[in-house]
Structure 1
Amino acid sequence: MSISFFWSRALLTNRFVLWLLFWCNLAGTIYGYMWYGEQMEYTIAHNAIWQVIFVPDSPTASLFFTIGILFLLYPPKSQALKGFSFLMESLAVVTSVKYGIWAVSIIFAGAAQGDHLVWQDWMLVASHLAMAVEALLFVRFFRFGALMLIPAAAWTFLNDIVDYTYGVFPWLPNELQDDLLGVQYFTLGLTVFSVLLAWVFLRLAKRKNI
């Protein structure tokens, strides 16, 4: 059996595998919202309530991907649902790549400046790397086109703007508090990178017809 089987259409679109991914991502989404619980409570108490939507970045990305997998399991019939599924898929790819890379980068940036990593940090590294990888693996199976990257990019940039205008970005390691401007620029640049990478993978999938 070729190693390429492990990222083949035959394996990844198998209904057992799709259901496994659905439940794993759903569990991760729920855990992620619980992880952000304290910051969400703080935001509700100290900021305008609408800003709480922009606090749990990674769990929301995971939620988009979970919905995208559900639409692979049950393809929508109506035009309205098809449009919604395309939006969820584009958001799933862009935000999963963006926040998967972002979280890992921030964890190691904090460690490089003296933050002591514990087992939860390594768990977050593994789970966020998995977010980015699975999103790129599934670009070729999702049905959204390049135009749907526009609303996905708009949402992700809006999230960045709200995060760093109102201070609702994910809490950083103490070692990075004096690097906030650099983190902000990195976050914005990562949004651009994630959108471009999604576009490249879409083009490759279309060219190879896979």
Structure 2
Amino acid sequence: MSIVGMKLDKLLKRRAIIWLLLAVNIPGTIYGYIWYGNQLAYTAAHYPSWLLPFVPDSPTASLFFTLALILLLYPPKTMAGMAARALIEALAVVTSVKYGIWAVAIILAGGYQGGTIGWQDWMLISSHAGMAVEALLYARFFICRRMLPLALLWTLLNDTVDYSWGVYPWLPKALADDVPQVQTFTFLLTLISAAFAWLASAGINSRRPKLK
């Protein structure tokens, strides 16, 4: 590892930095669920209730990452706890990378096709790009690799439910006639995100620096 990489690892593993990320991600996650409020209400009124957990994709990804940071600060001691931690971390990396990139791409695609990109959209672009970046940066500190296949299966299931039942995130109006293309992009992005997660988590078992 290069000197720059070692310094970056040391910085990212500082408890103060992790707490700073929690201070950003916790309210961001809450805001994300509020953002999905209208779609959740619409889904509750028109679809079976079991579909509700599949609606708020990005805030759930942020929730997984938030939990992963907490478990990094306070790792469980039991085998069951370690297994749960690994699964949460795997879900955190795969879904944060996937929905981080997805939201940026969809907003920009809507703008490219004539939609308006306002300040809220730019806020979403920056926050979702941050989701993907932080997940990739912290993946090498996680113990998630053996659980990545399960995280991939869950995310593919989520995609299948979204586009089979029509509960995918509401798209910009400019993309209303592009749902089949968005669906294909979404499934491909899930596979790509899982591959990114696998590569980013390489080599974590032998070199996991201690928290400062």
After superposition, the C-alpha distances for 1:166-195 in whole angstroms (9 at most, x for unaligned) are 000000011101110000000000000001
Q: How does 1:72-87 map to 2 (within 5 A)?
A: 72-87=72-87
Root-mean-square deviation (Å)? 1.8
- The 1:42/1:27 distance shift into structure 2, 3 A limit, reads same
- Aligned residue identity for 2:72: L
2:150 aligns with 151
Shift of 1:80: 1.1
- Aligned residue identity for 2:43: T
Do the aligned partners of 2:101 and 2:132 also contact (CA within 8 Å) in 1?
A: yes
2:186 aligns with 187
C-alpha distance in structure 2 between counterparts of 1:170 and 1:70, whole Å: 27
C-alpha distance in structure 1 between counterparts of 2:7 and 2:195, whole Å: 22
C-alpha distance in structure 2 between counterparts of 1:36 and 1:117, whole Å: 19
C-alpha distance in structure 2 between counterparts of 1:99 and 1:182, whole Å: 16
Shift of 1:206: 4.5
User: What TM-score do you get using the length of structure 2 for normalisation?
Assistant: 0.93
**Equivalent position SS for 2:201:** helix
After superposition, the C-alpha distances for 1:1-47 in whole angstroms (9 at most, x for unaligned) are x9937971211111111111112111110000000000000000000
1:71 aligns with 71
- Aligned residue identity for 1:8: L
Do the aligned partners of 1:7 and 1:137 also contact (CA within 8 Å) in 2?
A: no
User: Larger deviation: 193-202 or 117-126?
Assistant: 193-202
Shift of 1:202: 2.1
- Aligned residue identity for 1:179: D
Do the aligned partners of 1:104 and 1:124 also contact (CA within 8 Å) in 2?
A: yes
C-alpha distance in structure 1 between counterparts of 2:61 and 2:7, whole Å: 22
2:162 aligns with 163
Do the aligned partners of 1:5 and 1:11 also contact (CA within 8 Å) in 2?
A: no
2:56 is the alignment partner of 1:56: yes
- The 1:3/1:206 distance shift into structure 2, 3 A limit, reads closer
C-alpha distance in structure 2 between counterparts of 1:61 and 1:198, whole Å: 14
- Aligned residue identity for 1:49: S
2:110 aligns with 110
C-alpha distance in structure 2 between counterparts of 1:9 and 1:169, whole Å: 36
- Aligned residue identity for 2:34: M
- The 1:208/1:125 distance shift into structure 2, 3 A limit, reads farther
- The 1:79/1:3 distance shift into structure 2, 3 A limit, reads closer
C-alpha distance in structure 1 between counterparts of 2:10 and 2:58, whole Å: 28
C-alpha distance in structure 2 between counterparts of 1:22 and 1:183, whole Å: 31
C-alpha distance in structure 2 between counterparts of 1:59 and 1:109, whole Å: 21
2:177 aligns with 178
Do the aligned partners of 2:141 and 2:204 also contact (CA within 8 Å) in 1?
A: no
Structure 2, unpaired ranges of 5+? none
- Aligned residue identity for 2:138: F
- Aligned residue identity for 2:193: S
The percent of aligned pairs where both chains have the same amino acid is: 55
- The 1:18/1:199 distance shift into structure 2, 3 A limit, reads same
